[in-house]
């Protein structure tokens, strides 16, 4: 009888410990609620940050990202700090520049609305980067977004996440 009580007490504390760790692991960064008008304004002014939450390589499985990866779009520059999973056909000259990391100041920025809906396609084509050909964002009115990156020397890759305002 005494061992049953001890076992149930141990199970209770183990369950409590596991639930504590699960709560800590699922705690996420608070995301600012944006209206469709806010998002349209950010897209029209070419000032937003795309925060990647998941990556979907052409070959392989979808992965949730545990670190902070983003693309910052400003009127005069695009800064990309994204990971890469997949097949690369040419290694970077600088090993510290793995993934999709670059800053571009010469690029084409094109926006296409979705016929009255709360959805926009934003296409960025860097002219001063010989690896990334195109970054195609599909942004929704609730702030969620997807990003497809087409590269010269790597398989295509896509990301899902959300957009937010650029912090001052």
pLDDT in tens, 1-53: 667 667 665 665 555 444 544 444 444 455 668 888 889 899 999 999 999 99
* Token pair belonging to 71: 């693309």
Return the percentage of the chain with pLDDT > 90, whole number. Answer: 52
Of 87, 141, 92, 148, nearest in space to 117 by CA: 141
DSSP-assigned letters across all residues of 5-70: HHHHHHHHHHHHHHHHHHHHHH--PPPPP--HHHHHHHHHTT-EEEEEEEEEESSS--EEEEEEEE
Question: Residue range 135-161: average pLDDT?
Answer: 94
pTM, whole model, 2 decimals?
0.77
**How much is the pLDDT for 58?**
87
Residue 43 vs residue 113, higher pLDDT: 43
CA distances from 111 to 45, 62, 121, 145 (A): 11, 27, 6, 14
CA 114, CA 91: separation in Å to the nearest integer? Answer: 38
CB-based contact 36:118 (threshold 8 Å):
yes
Task: Tell which wins on pLDDT, 31 or 151.
Answer: 151
Instruction: Name residues whose C-beta falls within 8 Å of residue 117's C-beta, 6 or more positions apart in sequence.
Output: 141
pLDDT at 66 over 90: yes
């Amino acid at each position: 009888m005494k061992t049953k009580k001890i076992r149930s007490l141990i199970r209770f504390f183990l369950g409590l410990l596991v639930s504590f760790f699960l709560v800590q692991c699922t705690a996420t960064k608070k995301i600012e609620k944006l209206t469709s008008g806010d998002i349209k304004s950010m897209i029209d002014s070419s000032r937003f940050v795309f925060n990647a939450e998941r990556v979907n390589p052409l070959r392989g499985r979808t992965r949730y990202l545990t670190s902070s990866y983003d693309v910052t779009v400003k009127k005069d520059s695009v800064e990309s700090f994204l990971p890469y999973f997949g097949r690369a056909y040419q290694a970077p000259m600088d090993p510290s520049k793995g993934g999709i990391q670059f800053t571009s100041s010469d690029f084409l920025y094109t926006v296409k609305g979705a016929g009255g809906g709360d959805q926009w396609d934003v296409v960025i084509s860097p002219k001063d980067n010989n690896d990334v050909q195109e970054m195609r964002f599909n942004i929704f009115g609730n702030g969620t977004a997807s990003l497809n990156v087409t590269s010269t020397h790597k398989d295509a890759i896509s990301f899902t996440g959300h957009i937010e305002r650029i912090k001052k």
